[in-house]
């Protein structure tokens, strides 16, 4: 058991990190921080614009700084971007500063959930299914490396997933700084 005051959701795009995070933050009395929204607020530009102007490397620099700032505090539920685990320093920070839940989702479910989403720069570069499969191959071992708990979100709504995950967290996550 990893006693931590922060709860961190990792996983691929379309896994439900933000939607499920919203429900869990309310249930556990945590402040919800969405990494991509934090980056947009700090920069005054959308993720797509940052990718266009600075490339993925520029975005990842901004992501690293935002994660460090958000996780400097306690009582946060952080919904990371799907690629946050690519950076070794980010992986270390996630492990040190929170209880990490890997939200798993199949490529087929991602395609369904992201069918109308045109805001994700990595999906704008060709065959969406192929891109998602390549990202899964690269990132799955990194998610597994940092996760304290894995949870499959396939074929269930965000509300149902949050309810089921909350029950799991009650037996797997000992929130530090909180007395029972």
What does the pLDDT read at residue 1? Answer: 55
Percent of the chain with pLDDT over 90: 82
Task: Check the annotation: does 58 bind a ligand.
Answer: no
Fold designation for 7-167: Rossmann fold (3.40.50)
- Give pLDDT, residue 179: 40
Please check if 37 is assigned to a binding site. Answer: no
Whether the CB-CB separation of 89 and 64 falls below 8 Å is answered with yes
> What tens digit of pLDDT does each residue of 85-142 get?
999 999 999 999 999 999 999 999 998 999 888 888 777 877 999 999 999 999 999 9
Distances (CA, A) of 25 to 22, 38, 64, 73: 5, 16, 22, 15
Measured distance CA(64)–CA(86) in Å, rounded: 10
Is 152 annotated as belonging to a binding site?
A: no
Q: Are residues 162 and 170 in contact, defined by beta-carbon separation less than 8 angstroms?
A: no
| Residue 79 labelled as part of a binding site | no
> Which of 23-27, 71-75, 116-120 comes out lowest in average pLDDT?
116-120
């Amino acid at each position: 058991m990893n006693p931590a005051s922060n709860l961190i959701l990792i996983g691929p795009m379309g896994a439900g990190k933000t939607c499920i995070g919203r429900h869990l933050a309310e249930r556990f009395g945590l402040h919800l921080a969405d990494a991509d929204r934090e980056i947009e607020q700090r920069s005054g530009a959308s993720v797509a614009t940052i990718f266009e102007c600075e490339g993925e490397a520029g975005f990842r620099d901004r992501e690293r700084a935002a994660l460090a700032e958000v996780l400097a505090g306690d009582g946060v539920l952080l919904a990371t971007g799907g690629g946050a685990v690519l950076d070794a320093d980010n992986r270390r920070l996630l492990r040190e500063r929170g209880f990490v839940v890997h939200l798993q989702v199949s490529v087929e479910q991602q395609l369904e959930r992201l069918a109308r989403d045109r805001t994700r720069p990595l999906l704008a570069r060709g065959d969406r299914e192929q891109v998602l499969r390549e990202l899964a191959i690269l990132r799955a071992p990194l998610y597994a490396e940092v996760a304290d708990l894995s949870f499959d979100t396939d074929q269930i709504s965000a509300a149902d997933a949050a309810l089921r995950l909350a029950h799991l967290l009650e037996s797997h996550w000992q929130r530090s700084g909180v007395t029972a």
